[in-house]
Structure 1
Amino acid sequence: MNELRATVRVQLHAGFTLDDAAAQVPYFSRLGISHVYASPILMARPGSSHGYDTLDYGRVNPELGGRDALCRLVMRLREYAMGLIVDIVPNHMAVGGTGNRWWEDLLAWGRPSQYAHYFDVDWDAFAPWLHGRILAPFLDRPYGTALRDGVLRLVYEAETGMFFIHHHDHRFPVCPRHYAALLDSAGAPHALCDALRELAPLRGAPLRGACMTDAPALSRLAQWGKTPDGRAAIARVMEQHDTGTACGRSGLHDLLVRQAYRLAWWRTTPDLINWRRFFDITGLAALSVEHDDVFDAVHGHIVALYADGLIDGVRVDHVDGLTQPRSYCRRLRQRLMAVQHLRPAMAPQSLSIHVEKILHDREHLPASWQVDGTTGYDFMDQVSAVLHDPAGTAPLDGLWRDHAIEDPTFATTQRNARVQVLNDVFAAELSRLRTHLGHIAQCNIDTRDYSMGRIGMVLQALLVEFHSYRTYFSDDGSGGHQADHIVLRGAAREARRHLLPSCHEMLDWIVDTLGQAGLRDGSIRVAQQQFEHLTAPLAAKAVEDTSFYRYGRLLSRNEVGSDPGRISLSCAQFHKDNLHRYKAYPATLLATATHDHKRGEDARMRLAVLSEVAPHWRDLVNRWIIGNAHLRQRRMIPDRADEMILYQSMLGAWPLEPWPDAEARQVFHDRIVAWQIKALREAKRHTNWIDPDAEYERGCREFVGRLLDPHVSGAFIAEMDAIVARIAPAAAVNSITQVMLRLTLPGVPDLYQGTELWDFSLVDPDNRRPVDFTLRQTLMQHDTSLRRQAAQWRTGGVKMHLIQRLLAFRARYPLMFSKGTYEPVKVSGPAEQHVIAFLRREGGNVLLVVVVRCVWGLVPSPHDLSLDAPTLGQTYLSLPVSGNGEWCSILHENRTYPQDARLSLSFLQEGIPVECLVQAQDGFS
């Protein structure tokens, strides 16, 4: 069985099941993949397209085929000596709607529920009328209106004998202890009502499908409810709570006010919610997996699947959303390792654990977490940045400043977005933290005069300047917190600049309070947890889901895990980052595309070329802004910033060849419009998800329609065709370089489904469209040389060819990549800034990788991507002489180079300008 060598991400749902994935295993194997890396497989909300809305952690999703289909997939994988990694979602699960028995038990019983501590509920909320109750903000209109409109209904479930309040697709349980009062007034038997009065929350682990309370009493109710007297009595209960009458509305309201939850309009959520969500999604409630029993309930089935040999590793979703990430990761490894001896002989004894984590600039994953690395956002940023030209910074800055007066820099864009999102989206969370800090302040004579209002003002200033995802002060036993202190104090320094001097002492107190380490219990620890649970969603929503859609200097840098304020990365720093990864996390994942990326990996590489042709792009955009002004028919719609972002998004997704017909053009139009609506709403400048501005959105949609109408905008379309054709060869070389680096640098390459061919996708759901595996299998059958693939590079087959070649080499020499050294190679000569070179060495085997960057000025050929660059022949690599003989090309058959301490790069002019050379003890050829 192979160790983890290369993964392919597959997105599972009802339209692409576990059996569909099994059918592609032979193709994945031929491509060179060692492990399928699947989206969540446990039971999710019906119809889920992604699986992150888990309803039941105890079984494989039947929509994906259930456990039987999982067994078939694994059996197929084992036939090809492959493994399976699954995405797990310990941070949150789906609530609202129906089907979550933990959540429904919590709603039914409130604090006494055995699941009360599964969810992070503030039972002593800042709103007095919420004390001891849970806000349920799922109504589509205000509560009173919902009652009058009859969209709240009391429903009796005959099979279980339970009562629920229904609201469209939502159901809210009535506390079973209230059944006696309901039925007594309707003439139910006294003995039955007495039994119902004694009902109490279920204790111990319930069987799947069991009701949320004492089963015998409800069984009696269900049986009696099927008798003529029972049906008549229940009908009277329904009549007494029928919202079609004033008495019925009063009766239903009286019943609702006695429940442990308070139904509310969804618009009240930002201000009033008293339980932790996933980011700002009310349909996903956060879980408290820091408790051992909650951890076991969430992970028990995953651990069993590992013990049964049905999975070989896990990818942990949004690890920073957990209260104690370090403790969680260590416990997860411990639990999985404890059952490793139970795995069948045909299953490997290895285990991989990767975490989805956004690393801030110069932030590193702590070794104490005991994971194998991240899912690759950090690498995605590094490899993209090193392929951008810093020379483009000034002209692109100028272009953006000329047309986006509001937020000329990313720093101001981000700051303004943080203020808006903090107040509009996370007001309740901010108020809760402010209140808690206020209570702490009252306990000390030196801080008792700190008012709630000023604490809130200072806290907001600190949060606005806090750019990392979070600190880890509240994590048990996490050791030193030097990095946490640096981040927290750095944010305080920036916040101080925006606060009055009279607030500086209070700022210092807040920072000192939040930065205390080693606390076991107490209110300070709670404050730390609240702060750490606020900074992560604030970063995600204000930066990735707001600022990235507002700031349009260069969209290829607006990617998850990246800093749009930094266009490029030097080769020297790139080598340092690779060396750190080699030493600290050699098995981390290397990704260039994910299910969450903002645009496809090859769209980014095309846009990266704009950093090299920035003056030309500036002139072109200025001409379009003037020339397309007449296409606006509704005031200034879109505004200049949105228009500039639109042009870049079109450029990134524009087809390599002209549209073959009107239908293809319409498909492109629809993709752009869908992206545009999402982008505009995420930006929250003119419209948003909560209060869409129909006029602005319609005007933007009409503008796109006219831009893409050849009868109206023929000149624009021709110019877009022309600029895409001009930069496409350089973009393709960028993409090939990106592939080469991902497959040879320290780490485990991850392939996102379908991106073995060109990927010009937009943000989800565009990047989750069905993959044409038949096309890919057909192209793979054409086993041609790299030179022939280069001659038809527009098909994308050249990318697949390189992936297949390099992964085959990794399979032949796995230790070179899992254990081999990483040694930057010195490049000297006139083209040195265009070359990245390094060695991987293991035992007596040596791999030399040479790629090019920023190649626009080297004039890549539109015919075969070869470079017309005489300077390459005058540029040299300084190499150690090992005595292992000549260099053999991995990419080109029968191509060798002499072993020379000073190797000319003239060979990069011989076709596609990338090369992998090997000196192997086994005589590789």
Structure 2
Amino acid sequence: MAPAAGKPIPRATYRVQLNGAFGFDRTAAIADYIARLGVSHLYASPYMKARPGSTHGYDIVDHNALNPELGDQNAFQEMVGALKRNSLGQILDFVPNHMGVGGSDNEWWLNVLEWGEESPYSGYFDIEWDSDYRYLQGKLLVPVLGDQYGAVLMSGGLELRFDQETGSFAVWAYDSHKLPVRPQDYGIVLGDDHPDLERIGDAFTHLAYARPHQIPRAAVQKAELATLVAARPDVADAIAQRLTAFRGYSGEMESWGRLHELIGRQNWRVAYFKVAADDINYRRFFNINELAGLRMDEPELFDVAHRMVLAMVKDGTLDGIRIDHIDGLIDPKGYCERLVEAAGTPFYLVVEKILARHERLREDWPIDGTTGYEFANLMGGLFVDPKGEEAFSRLYAGFIGNDEPFEEVVRKSKIRIMESEMASELNVLSRKASRIARSNPATADFTANILHQALKETIARFPVYRTYVDGTGPTDLDRRDIDWAISQARRVAQGPDESVYDFLQRLLTTDLVAAPKSGYSHRQVTRFAMRFQQYSGPVMAKGLEDTAFYRYNRLVALNEVGGHPDHFGVSVSAFHRANQDRARNWPGNMLSTTTHDTKRGEDTRARLYALSEMPEDWERQVQTWSRLLRARRGDVEGTAPPDRSDEYLFYQLLLGAWPVELTGAAPDRIDQSAMTAFAERIVGAMTKSMREAKLHSTWAAPNEAYESAVVGFIHDALDVTRRNAFLEAFLPFQATLARIGMVNGLAQTLLKLTSPGVPDIYQGCELWNLSLVDPDNRSPVDYEARRTLLDEVEDVVERGAVAGLLERWTDGAIKLAVTRQALALRADKPEIFAAGEYLPLEATGERADHVVAYARRNGDDSVVVAVPRLVGRLGENPDWGNTAIPLPRGTRWRDRLTGKEVEGQDAVSLATLFADLPIALLSRDG
């Protein structure tokens, strides 16, 4: 979609993760540094008020207040001023889908707990008040307990308290989760021992007489109670005495009877966190109990939640917004349209959207593109050798003893999610579908159980995260994906009768109500189809990204957000076609290589891509390492933990994340403290992998014995206190792979910074990023070191000595230099990169398959980009022979990386182009 006139499309962005340790003041302090890098915009993580201690900002509790842990209003304005002084705009990551709940911070949520369906905020959340379970009728499940309810109750983990300042009562769980008591029940607490408390308690008990004004009336009575307590010590003492009646003795259930009865009367049901899988009755962000979904399609909620962010767009504080988890909203297109209309002024708008391989971003959405997950995987595929797939698959299956195809791994993983963590949501969908079916005699016999089976099998085979049926009839794209999933589900042996799939297909496409007098409710059918879409997305995310990606470890560089681990490599022509399409249709699309959500950093992946070029050597290494490590542990049979799949993953993590400062070191020269720190990073990543895979351990029920054995395996492998045969065998191969990864890393950096779209640099990635899954990828960034190195790099560039940085590549200066120079060229020639043509340059010669080249052209001006690929097969000093790339018209060019003139007529040889650096960025020199 072409940008609207006057819309501020960024030249390049720099993502910063704000938190309590890196707030507005520290962001202001790096404004000059990121401006010197050459970006045009700060891209900030959410900074609205979040749960205390939030490290990411996605658990917002107030959309219209700044997070006090990041700084106050003055600090925020100082940051805004620093950005403007350095000619930087700002893009904000905004979270409309959900809010942080639990604790005692979200006033909307606390009000819902207190007043139930009568709360003015109850319609803001996706709550199923009309449950089929009697014990949840009219109640909101609050799964915050770490043990069974009865055990927590008897241990004193639930306590009734009085807030003297507000005159209100609440049950507190673990001193942290506030569960307000219904004001109608205050009389039970206050009792009749004290005449004033009896009088006030009676007024609370009969609040129903004040309808529809019971909420403000209760506020008045609370204020009266608070005033009375403040003025009368005898009243305060009487309340304190009454509270003792609701306390019991540890281990004696009968003594807690009064508190249990009071809890039973509330609008909430407090429960063990594991109960959520079966009984949750509010929509969550995925399966996270502490993040409750919002009904952002409600106009009143939309207006309230967007008041501050839209004000910042209108006053120029923000140039753009990144929408988090767009697929969580019931109507993404409608939301984007409303947002654009409400802003009243052009602004840059991108959405976090994961696309399937066959899926295209909807062109009727009023947005500038996605946040770029698909680009990271597209570009990464260039460095994966498809010729090695067969051998790679064979060695992987042989080592782990399993050749199950990835498609089946995904299906089983999605089934696992629907039968455990997200079972309750599927039960709700099934019951809603059965109610619709019963409304018409033709389908009245489709029970909730039959529909449950059909829905589960359909979602397990859904080819995309979700469709976008919105009541106007399905698009051809929607119908294609629904029909495909239904057709695959029909093939299930011993599945439900095929007629139920006919009904389900018509229900999900809303064909049930396409004709008048259908016998079905148009609203119910449409609403069901839209709610189904809100469920299929989280199941895909949890089943694919957070389960299958940790079970299928063939080449984990491909197991990335938005990635396709079963697709081994991307051709140069496919890369060019995608770039041309983006240049035509989505020139504002973000281009990302690392984000706060990536499972491995860009340079970690760059190393691992190279394994695809050397399957036989990789197999020999893995077998050798396994024998050495298992022999050291006395595991001759090779059956002790870790299992073969986890072990195979471990070796890849070691290779990918091995610190650059330890590359090339002999085992006996490695600093023990540095190795200990690295080992802890690997332990963290492996622990997360084991629990996400849900095979040997889980987050809800960690298998301590298995995990402990794996941790021991890791520490044995990285033990430098004595001779280590494993490290002696490992380090030479690691050094070779790291060198190839360095070239891949430089190549993908230049491709990102020059391809059509808006390149984003994740914090610190101007140097090597060898991170693993979060929280490792959110580690603090040393900006002072980067500032010092940038000073040096600018001097090196001025002297035309960038090529010399290759000799010291481990310090990252060479990557910083490439980043700075490419961004400088984007600033010098903005029209070429913002709206210029994208022209593939087809290489010729014996090494043509090993180069990616293209030109960006605007009128008579051009820029040429060339990078190598699959360099592992070329050796450390490639012989490019007669390989050359064509050049646009003009004979005088200058390499903006090295500063050297490049002479060329119609073509230039790769031997000339890559004589000093393995990548080239040419611009016209006259």
- SS of 2:84's equivalent in the other structure is helix
What is the TM-score normalised by the length of structure 2?
0.93
What are the Cα deviations for residues 629-666 of structure 1, in whole angstroms up to 9, with x where unaligned? 22446862111111001111111011232374111011
Tell me, yes or no, if the aligned pair for 2:672 and 2:721 is still in contact at 8 Å: no
1:541 equivalent in structure 2: 542
Would you say the 8 A contact 2:204–2:221 is kept in 1?
A: yes
CA distance in 1: counterparts of 2:255 and 2:495, whole angstroms: 59
1:238 equivalent to 2:243? Answer yes
Residue 453 of structure 1 and its aligned partner are, at CA, apart by 2.4
1:281 aligns with 2:288: yes
Partner of residue 3, structure 2: none
2:812 is matched with which residue: 775, 778, 796?
796
Tell me which of 481, 491, 498 is aligned to 1:497: 491
Q: 2:381 aligns with which of 380, 385, 390?
A: 385
CA-based RMSD of the aligned residues comes to 2.2
State the distance in 2 between where 1:407 and 1:419 align: 20
Q: Who is 1:266 aligned against?
A: 273
Aligned AA (2:185): H
The CA deviation string for residues 771-810 of structure 1, in whole angstroms up to 9 with x for no partner, is 0111111111112122121222121110000000010111
Distance 1:200 1:68, change over 3 A: farther
2:625 and 2:730 in contact (8 A); partners too: no
Partner of 1:218: 222
Q: What is the alpha-carbon distance in structure 2 between the residues aligned to residue 49 and residue 221 of structure 1? A: 38
Q: Distance in 1 between matches of 2:544 and 2:353?
A: 15
Q: Is the 8 A contact 2:164 2:229 kept in 1?
A: yes
Deviations 1:601-621 (A, max 9, x none): 001000000000111001111
| CA deviation after TM superposition for structure 1 residue 369, in Å | 1.5
Q: CA deviation at 1:196?
A: 2.8
Amino acid at match of 1:707: A
Stretch moving more, 211-220 or 787-796: 211-220
Cα contact 1:461–1:499 (8 A) shared by 2: no
Q: Deviations over 1:895-916 (max 9, x none)?
A: 1223x22333222340222111
What is the deviation of 1:105? 0.5
Provide the residue aligned with 2:883 in structure 1: 875
Structure-2 residue corresponding to 1:196: 204
* In the alignment, structure 1 residue 650 sits paired with structure 2 residue 654: yes
| Cα separation, partners in 2 of 1:188 and 1:896, compared to 1, 3 Å | farther
Count of matched residue positions in the alignment of Structure 1 and Structure 2 = 893
Residue 697 of structure 2, aligned match among 687, 692, 700: 687
What is residue 627 of structure 2 aligned with on the other side?
626
Structure 2 residue corresponding to 1:405, chosen from 401, 407, 425: 401
1:826 pairs with 2:851: no
In the alignment, what sits opposite 1:158?
164
CA 1:501 to 1:762, structure 2 compared with 1: closer, same or farther past 3 Å? closer
Q: How far apart are residue 191 of structure 1 and its match?
A: 4.6
Report the residue type matching 1:269 in the other structure: A
Counterpart selection for 2:922 from 899, 909, 917: 917
Could you tell me which amino acid in structure 2 is paired with residue 813 of structure 1?
Answer: K
Q: 1:868 to 1:486 in 2, by over 3 A?
A: same
2:142 partner SS: strand
> Which of 569-578 and 709-718 deviates more?
709-718
Amino acid at match of 1:511: Q
Q: Tell me which amino acid in the other structure corresponds to 2:326.
A: V
Give the secondary structure class of the aligned counterpart of 1:792: helix
Q: Displacement of 1:445 after TM fit?
A: 2.5
Greater Cα shift, 695-704 or 887-896:
887-896
Tell me if the contact between 1:840 and 1:846 (Cα under 8 Å) persists in the aligned partners.
Answer: yes
Asked if structure 2 preserves the Cα contact closer than 8 Å seen for 1:467 and 1:539, the reply is no
Q: Deviation above 6 Å: which 4+ runs of structure 1?
A: 200-206, 517-520
Amino acid across the alignment from 2:227: Q
Q: How does 1:644-793 map to 2 (within 5 A)?
A: 644-656=648-660, 657=663, 658=665, 660-710=670-720, 714-782=724-792, 783-784=795-796, 785-793=801-809
* Aligned: 1:564 with 2:565: yes
1:768 Cα deviation after fit = 0.8
- Supply the distance in 1 between the matched residues of 2:625 and 2:372 (Cα, whole angstroms): 37
SS at match of 1:827: coil
Distance 1:501 1:99, change over 3 A: closer
Residue aligning to 1:434: 430
Match for residue 323 of structure 1? 330
Query: What is the rounded CA distance, in whole Å, between the counterparts of 2:471 and 2:436 in structure 1?
Result: 21
3-state secondary structure, aligned to 2:767: coil
CA contact (8 A) 2:454 2:496 kept: no
What is the SS of the residue equivalent to 2:843?
A: strand
1:162-201 alignment runs, 5 A limit: 162-168=168-174, 169-189=176-196, 191-197=199-205, 199=207
The unaligned stretches of length 5 or more in structure 1 are 341-349, 861-866
Q: How does 1:337-348 map to 2 (within 5 A)?
A: 338=344, 340=345
What amino acid maps onto 2:220 in structure 1? P
SS of residue matched to 2:599: coil
Aligned equivalent of 2:416, options 382, 406, 420: 420
Does 227-236 or 354-363 show the bigger shift? 227-236
**Aligned partner of 1:550: which letter?**
R
Q: Distance in 2 between matches of 1:633 and 1:268?
A: 42
Give the alignment of 1:112-123 within 5 angstroms.
112-123=118-129
Partner of 1:67 in structure 2? Answer: 73
Q: Give the deviation of 1:844 after TM superposition.
A: 2.0
Answer whether contact 2:474 2:510 (CA < 8 A) is retained: no
Which residue pairs with 2:608 in the alignment?
607
2:314 aligned with 1:307: yes
Provide the C-alpha distance between the structure 2 equivalents of 1:396 and 1:895, rounded to a whole number of angstroms. 42
- Which whole-Å CA distance do the structure 2 matches of 1:160 and 1:488 have between them? 52
**Alpha-carbon distance between aligned partners in 2 of 1:633 and 1:315, rounded to the nearest angstrom:** 53
Cα distance 1:786–1:438, how it changes in 2: closer, same or farther (>3 A)? same
Q: Which amino acid aligns with 1:566?
A: H
Give the AA of the match of 2:642: P
The residue that corresponds to 1:472 in the other structure is: 468
Deviation at 1:243?
2.7
| Corresponding residue for residue 343 of structure 1 | none
Instruction: Measure how far apart 1:521 and its partner are.
Output: 4.7
Q: Secondary structure at the match of 1:793?
A: helix
**1:61-100 equivalences in 2 (<5 Å):** 61-100=67-106
Residue range with higher mean Cα deviation, 1-10 or 418-427: 1-10
3-state SS in 2 of match to 1:36: strand
Name the residue aligned to 1:529.
530
Question: CA 1:186/1:389 → structure 2, altered by over 3 Å: closer, same or farther?
Answer: farther
| Structure 1 residue 485, shift from structure 2 partner | 1.3
Whether the aligned pair in 2 keeps the contact of 1:707 and 1:713 (CA below 8 Å) is no
Output one character per residue of 1:520-539: Cα deviation in whole Å (capped at 9) or x when no partner. 95221232133112111111
Report if the CA contact (8 A) 2:161-2:172 is conserved. yes
Cα-to-partner distance string for 1:335-381 (whole Å, 9 max, x where unaligned): 12x2x4xxxxxxxxx52111111111121221222111111101011
Q: Which of residues 2, 16, 24 is equivalent to 2:30? A: 24
SS of equivalent residue, structure 2 residue 350: strand
Cα distance change of structure 1 residues 372 and 721 upon mapping to structure 2, 3 Å threshold: same
Match of 1:347 in 2: none
8 A Cα contact 1:120 1:288, kept in partner:
yes
Q: Is 369-378 or 136-145 further displaced after alignment?
A: 136-145
Q: Given residue 680 of structure 1, which amino acid in structure 2 is its aligned partner? A: M
Question: Following the alignment from structure 2 to structure 1, what is the Cα–Cα distance between the partners of residues 744 and 895?
Answer: 20
Amino acid at match of 1:487: D
Instruction: Confirm or deny: 8 A CA contact 2:453 2:495 kept in the other structure.
Output: no
Deviation (angstroms), 1:713: 6.3
Q: Could you report, residue by residue, the CA deviation over 1:669-706 in whole angstroms, capped at 9, with x for unpaired residues?
A: 11111111111111111001011111000000001111
Task: Determine the structure 2 residue equivalent to 1:346.
Answer: none
CA distance in 1, matches of 2:503, 2:814: 59
**Structure 2 CA distance for partners of 1:283 and 1:781, relative to 1, 3 Å:** same
2:509 corresponds to 1:515: yes
Aligned mates of 2:375, 2:311 — CA distance in 1: 32
Give the AA of the match of 2:486.
A
**CA distance in 2 between partners of 1:773 and 1:5 (Å):** 22
Aligned CA distance change for structure 1 residues 144 and 574 (closer, same or farther; 3 Å): same
> Match of 1:84, SS?
strand
The TM-score normalised by the length of structure 1 is 0.93
1:863 paired residue number = none
